[in-house]
Structure 1
Amino acid sequence: MMISIDDCLIVELNKIPSDKGNISVAESNINVPFDIKRIYYTYDIPSEAERGGHAHKEQHELVIAASGSFNVVIDDGKRKKTFFLNNPNKGLWLKPGIWRELNNFSSGGVVLVMNSGLYLESDYIRDYNKFKSK
Protein backbone atom coordinates (compact mmCIF):
# COMPACT_ATOMS: atom_id res chain seq x y z
CA MET A 1 0.00 0.00 0.00
CA MET A 2 1.39 3.38 -1.03
CA ILE A 3 1.44 6.02 1.71
CA SER A 4 0.45 9.53 0.61
CA ILE A 5 0.73 12.95 2.20
CA ASP A 6 -2.98 12.62 3.05
CA ASP A 7 -2.04 9.86 5.53
CA CYS A 8 0.04 12.31 7.61
CA LEU A 9 -2.14 13.89 10.25
CA ILE A 10 -1.99 16.44 13.03
CA VAL A 11 -2.16 14.66 16.39
CA GLU A 12 -3.37 16.67 19.37
CA LEU A 13 -1.94 15.90 22.78
CA ASN A 14 -4.00 16.66 25.86
CA LYS A 15 -3.38 20.11 27.28
CA ILE A 16 -3.82 20.35 31.03
CA PRO A 17 -3.86 24.03 32.01
CA SER A 18 -3.11 25.45 35.42
CA ASP A 19 -2.16 28.82 36.87
CA LYS A 20 1.40 27.43 37.08
CA GLY A 21 1.57 26.66 33.35
CA ASN A 22 0.35 23.98 30.98
CA ILE A 23 1.37 20.35 30.68
CA SER A 24 0.89 17.97 27.78
CA VAL A 25 1.49 14.23 28.03
CA ALA A 26 2.52 11.89 25.20
CA GLU A 27 1.81 8.19 25.74
CA SER A 28 2.71 5.34 23.38
CA ASN A 29 -0.29 3.88 21.55
CA ILE A 30 -2.69 6.11 23.50
CA ASN A 31 -2.43 9.65 22.13
CA VAL A 32 0.73 8.95 20.12
CA PRO A 33 -0.37 6.42 17.46
CA PHE A 34 2.72 4.20 17.74
CA ASP A 35 5.15 2.76 20.28
CA ILE A 36 7.77 5.43 21.12
CA LYS A 37 11.32 4.01 21.05
CA ARG A 38 13.36 7.19 20.62
CA ILE A 39 12.97 10.90 21.40
CA TYR A 40 15.28 13.62 20.17
CA TYR A 41 15.17 17.36 19.76
CA THR A 42 17.02 20.03 17.81
CA TYR A 43 17.51 23.60 18.95
CA ASP A 44 19.59 26.72 18.32
CA ILE A 45 18.57 26.33 14.68
CA PRO A 46 19.38 29.31 12.43
CA SER A 47 16.21 30.71 10.82
CA GLU A 48 17.56 30.09 7.31
CA ALA A 49 18.58 26.48 8.04
CA GLU A 50 16.89 23.44 6.53
CA ARG A 51 16.63 20.19 8.49
CA GLY A 52 15.27 16.77 7.62
CA GLY A 53 15.86 16.03 3.97
CA HIS A 54 15.07 12.33 4.30
CA ALA A 55 12.34 9.71 4.55
CA HIS A 56 12.08 6.61 6.70
CA LYS A 57 11.41 3.15 5.30
CA GLU A 58 9.68 1.71 8.39
CA GLN A 59 9.70 4.24 11.22
CA HIS A 60 6.91 6.60 12.22
CA GLU A 61 7.58 10.03 13.73
CA LEU A 62 5.59 12.65 15.59
CA VAL A 63 7.13 16.10 15.05
CA ILE A 64 6.25 18.85 17.55
CA ALA A 65 7.20 22.50 17.84
CA ALA A 66 8.12 22.33 21.54
CA SER A 67 9.00 26.02 21.34
CA GLY A 68 8.70 28.58 18.56
CA SER A 69 7.58 27.61 15.09
CA PHE A 70 8.70 26.08 11.79
CA ASN A 71 7.37 24.56 8.57
CA VAL A 72 7.36 20.87 7.75
CA VAL A 73 7.16 20.20 4.00
CA ILE A 74 6.08 16.63 3.28
CA ASP A 75 6.32 14.87 -0.06
CA ASP A 76 5.03 11.47 -1.18
CA GLY A 77 6.81 11.59 -4.54
CA LYS A 78 3.74 12.94 -6.33
CA ARG A 79 2.53 15.82 -4.20
CA LYS A 80 3.86 18.16 -1.52
CA LYS A 81 2.13 19.81 1.42
CA THR A 82 3.38 22.29 4.01
CA PHE A 83 2.38 22.25 7.69
CA PHE A 84 3.13 25.21 9.95
CA LEU A 85 3.81 23.92 13.47
CA ASN A 86 3.68 26.40 16.34
CA ASN A 87 1.75 24.68 19.13
CA PRO A 88 3.50 22.41 21.67
CA ASN A 89 0.44 20.21 22.13
CA LYS A 90 0.01 19.44 18.42
CA GLY A 91 2.34 17.31 16.34
CA LEU A 92 2.55 16.07 12.77
CA TRP A 93 2.43 12.29 12.43
CA LEU A 94 4.83 11.32 9.66
CA LYS A 95 4.35 7.83 8.34
CA PRO A 96 7.01 5.69 6.65
CA GLY A 97 7.74 6.54 3.02
CA ILE A 98 7.16 10.30 3.37
CA TRP A 99 9.98 12.72 2.56
CA ARG A 100 10.25 15.63 4.99
CA GLU A 101 12.04 18.94 5.09
CA LEU A 102 11.88 21.45 7.95
CA ASN A 103 12.49 25.16 7.38
CA ASN A 104 11.45 28.70 8.32
CA PHE A 105 12.50 28.37 11.96
CA SER A 106 11.55 31.09 14.41
CA SER A 107 14.00 32.37 16.97
CA GLY A 108 14.15 29.91 19.86
CA GLY A 109 12.52 27.13 17.84
CA VAL A 110 12.81 23.64 19.29
CA VAL A 111 11.89 20.59 17.18
CA LEU A 112 10.85 17.64 19.35
CA VAL A 113 10.58 14.28 17.56
CA MET A 114 9.16 11.01 18.89
CA ASN A 115 10.19 8.05 16.76
CA SER A 116 8.92 4.45 16.60
CA GLY A 117 12.41 2.97 16.28
CA LEU A 118 15.92 3.18 17.55
CA TYR A 119 18.44 4.94 15.32
CA LEU A 120 19.09 2.69 12.34
CA GLU A 121 20.87 4.25 9.38
CA SER A 122 19.49 1.57 7.04
CA ASP A 123 15.95 2.88 7.72
CA TYR A 124 16.79 6.26 6.17
CA ILE A 125 16.38 7.29 2.55
CA ARG A 126 18.64 10.34 2.25
CA ASP A 127 18.82 10.68 -1.55
CA TYR A 128 15.75 12.41 -3.02
CA ASN A 129 16.22 10.80 -6.46
CA LYS A 130 16.24 7.32 -4.87
CA PHE A 131 13.17 8.30 -2.87
CA LYS A 132 11.35 9.39 -6.05
CA SER A 133 12.19 6.11 -7.79
CA LYS A 134 10.80 3.88 -4.98
Structure 2
Amino acid sequence: MKEAQIIELPKILDPRGNLSFFESNNQIPFEIKRTYWIYDVPGGEIRGGHAFKEQNEFIVVLSGSLDVAVFNGSEEKKYSLNRSYYGLYIPNGLWRRMENFATNTLALVVSSTSYDEKDYIRDKDEFIKLKSKENDSI
Protein backbone atom coordinates (compact mmCIF):
# COMPACT_ATOMS: atom_id res chain seq x y z
CA MET A 1 0.00 0.00 0.00
CA LYS A 2 1.16 3.47 -0.81
CA GLU A 3 1.75 5.63 2.24
CA ALA A 4 2.27 9.30 2.92
CA GLN A 5 5.77 10.19 4.00
CA ILE A 6 7.75 13.15 5.26
CA ILE A 7 10.53 14.11 2.86
CA GLU A 8 13.41 16.18 4.17
CA LEU A 9 14.53 18.76 1.64
CA PRO A 10 18.06 20.02 1.04
CA LYS A 11 18.92 22.83 3.43
CA ILE A 12 21.70 25.19 2.44
CA LEU A 13 22.79 27.12 5.51
CA ASP A 14 24.04 30.65 5.03
CA PRO A 15 24.45 33.48 7.55
CA ARG A 16 22.48 35.68 5.13
CA GLY A 17 19.52 33.28 5.27
CA ASN A 18 18.91 29.62 4.51
CA LEU A 19 17.69 28.12 1.25
CA SER A 20 15.78 24.91 0.54
CA PHE A 21 14.44 23.53 -2.72
CA PHE A 22 12.80 20.59 -4.47
CA GLU A 23 12.79 19.45 -8.07
CA SER A 24 10.53 17.22 -10.15
CA ASN A 25 11.51 13.55 -9.99
CA ASN A 26 14.41 14.37 -7.66
CA GLN A 27 13.43 15.25 -4.09
CA ILE A 28 9.78 14.49 -4.87
CA PRO A 29 8.78 11.34 -6.76
CA PHE A 30 6.78 12.88 -9.61
CA GLU A 31 6.84 15.51 -12.33
CA ILE A 32 5.19 18.76 -11.22
CA LYS A 33 2.15 19.70 -13.33
CA ARG A 34 0.45 22.20 -11.01
CA THR A 35 1.43 24.47 -8.12
CA TYR A 36 -0.88 26.28 -5.73
CA TRP A 37 -0.71 27.76 -2.25
CA ILE A 38 -3.08 28.01 0.69
CA TYR A 39 -3.11 31.08 2.92
CA ASP A 40 -5.36 33.33 5.06
CA VAL A 41 -7.15 30.29 6.51
CA PRO A 42 -9.46 31.49 9.31
CA GLY A 43 -8.99 29.89 12.73
CA GLY A 44 -10.67 26.51 13.09
CA GLU A 45 -11.17 25.98 9.34
CA ILE A 46 -10.29 22.71 7.59
CA ARG A 47 -8.95 22.42 4.04
CA GLY A 48 -8.86 19.33 1.89
CA GLY A 49 -11.27 16.65 3.00
CA HIS A 50 -10.92 14.59 -0.17
CA ALA A 51 -8.83 11.98 -1.97
CA PHE A 52 -7.50 11.74 -5.51
CA LYS A 53 -7.75 8.80 -7.90
CA GLU A 54 -4.60 9.75 -9.86
CA GLN A 55 -3.02 12.90 -8.46
CA ASN A 56 -0.02 12.81 -6.10
CA GLU A 57 0.78 15.84 -3.95
CA PHE A 58 3.65 17.31 -2.00
CA ILE A 59 2.88 19.90 0.70
CA VAL A 60 5.46 22.27 2.19
CA VAL A 61 4.63 24.85 4.85
CA LEU A 62 6.69 27.90 3.97
CA SER A 63 5.55 29.85 7.02
CA GLY A 64 3.51 28.92 10.09
CA SER A 65 2.24 25.43 10.77
CA LEU A 66 -0.60 23.01 10.11
CA ASP A 67 -1.50 19.37 10.62
CA VAL A 68 -2.36 16.94 7.82
CA ALA A 69 -4.50 13.94 8.68
CA VAL A 70 -4.08 11.12 6.16
CA PHE A 71 -6.59 8.25 6.10
CA ASN A 72 -6.01 5.05 4.09
CA GLY A 73 -9.51 3.65 4.54
CA SER A 74 -8.82 1.88 7.83
CA GLU A 75 -6.44 4.04 9.87
CA GLU A 76 -5.57 7.71 10.16
CA LYS A 77 -2.14 9.22 10.74
CA LYS A 78 -1.39 12.87 11.51
CA TYR A 79 1.63 14.80 10.31
CA SER A 80 2.61 18.20 11.72
CA LEU A 81 4.24 20.49 9.21
CA ASN A 82 6.08 23.44 10.71
CA ARG A 83 9.47 23.65 8.97
CA SER A 84 10.14 24.87 5.45
CA TYR A 85 12.86 22.28 4.83
CA TYR A 86 10.60 19.25 4.83
CA GLY A 87 7.25 18.44 3.32
CA LEU A 88 4.66 15.72 3.11
CA TYR A 89 4.34 13.50 0.05
CA ILE A 90 0.79 12.14 -0.31
CA PRO A 91 0.32 9.55 -3.06
CA ASN A 92 -3.04 9.12 -4.74
CA GLY A 93 -5.66 6.92 -3.10
CA LEU A 94 -5.38 8.50 0.36
CA TRP A 95 -7.88 10.81 2.07
CA ARG A 96 -6.30 14.03 3.34
CA ARG A 97 -7.49 16.82 5.62
CA MET A 98 -5.49 19.92 6.60
CA GLU A 99 -6.30 21.46 9.98
CA ASN A 100 -4.92 23.41 12.94
CA PHE A 101 -3.58 26.22 10.77
CA ALA A 102 -1.49 28.71 12.75
CA THR A 103 -2.09 32.39 12.05
CA ASN A 104 -0.50 33.53 8.79
CA THR A 105 0.37 30.00 7.63
CA LEU A 106 1.47 29.75 4.01
CA ALA A 107 1.41 26.25 2.50
CA LEU A 108 2.76 25.44 -0.96
CA VAL A 109 1.31 22.40 -2.75
CA VAL A 110 2.64 20.82 -5.93
CA SER A 111 0.68 18.20 -7.86
CA SER A 112 1.46 15.51 -10.38
CA THR A 113 -1.56 16.37 -12.55
CA SER A 114 -3.38 19.41 -13.83
CA TYR A 115 -6.67 20.23 -12.13
CA ASP A 116 -9.40 17.73 -12.97
CA GLU A 117 -12.60 17.72 -10.92
CA LYS A 118 -13.28 14.11 -12.00
CA ASP A 119 -10.11 13.00 -10.18
CA TYR A 120 -11.52 14.03 -6.77
CA ILE A 121 -13.31 11.73 -4.35
CA ARG A 122 -15.15 14.20 -2.11
CA ASP A 123 -17.48 11.80 -0.27
CA LYS A 124 -15.69 10.00 2.57
CA ASP A 125 -18.22 7.14 2.65
CA GLU A 126 -17.63 6.56 -1.07
CA PHE A 127 -13.87 6.60 -0.42
CA ILE A 128 -14.19 4.00 2.36
CA LYS A 129 -16.29 1.76 0.08
CA LEU A 130 -13.67 2.03 -2.70
CA LYS A 131 -10.86 1.15 -0.28
CA SER A 132 -12.85 -1.78 1.08
CA LYS A 133 -13.30 -3.13 -2.49
CA GLU A 134 -9.54 -2.72 -3.13
CA ASN A 135 -8.71 -4.65 0.05
CA ASP A 136 -11.21 -7.41 -0.84
CA SER A 137 -9.56 -7.91 -4.22
CA ILE A 138 -6.07 -8.38 -2.70
| TM-score strictly above 0.5 | yes
- Of the three residues 28, 41, 44, the one matched with 2:40 is 44
Does 2:107 correspond to 1:111? Answer: yes
Does 2:14 correspond to 1:34? Answer: no
- Listed one character per residue, the Cα deviations across residues 27-54 of structure 1 (whole Å, up to 9, x for unaligned) are 0011111111111001011121100000
Q: Percent identity?
A: 43
- Paired residue for 1:67? 63
- Paired residue for 1:130? 126
Task: Please give the TM-score of this superposition, normalised by the length of structure 2.
Answer: 0.91
The whole-number CA distance in structure 1 between the counterparts of 2:83 and 2:43 is 18
Give the number of aligned pairs: 130
What residue identity is the alignment partner of 1:52? G
- Paired residue for 1:54? 50
**Secondary structure in 2 matching 1:132:** helix
- Conserved in 2, the CA contact under 8 Å of 1:68 and 1:109? yes
The whole-number CA distance in structure 2 between the counterparts of 1:57 and 1:66 is 27
Which is greater in Rg? 2
Task: Please give the TM-score of this superposition, normalised by the length of structure 1.
Answer: 0.94
In structure 1, runs of 5+ residues without a counterpart are none
In structure 2, runs of 5+ residues without a counterpart are 131-138
4+ residue runs of structure 1 moved beyond 2 angstroms?
A: none
- Conserved in 2, the CA contact under 8 Å of 1:43 and 1:110? yes
- Paired residue for 1:19? 15
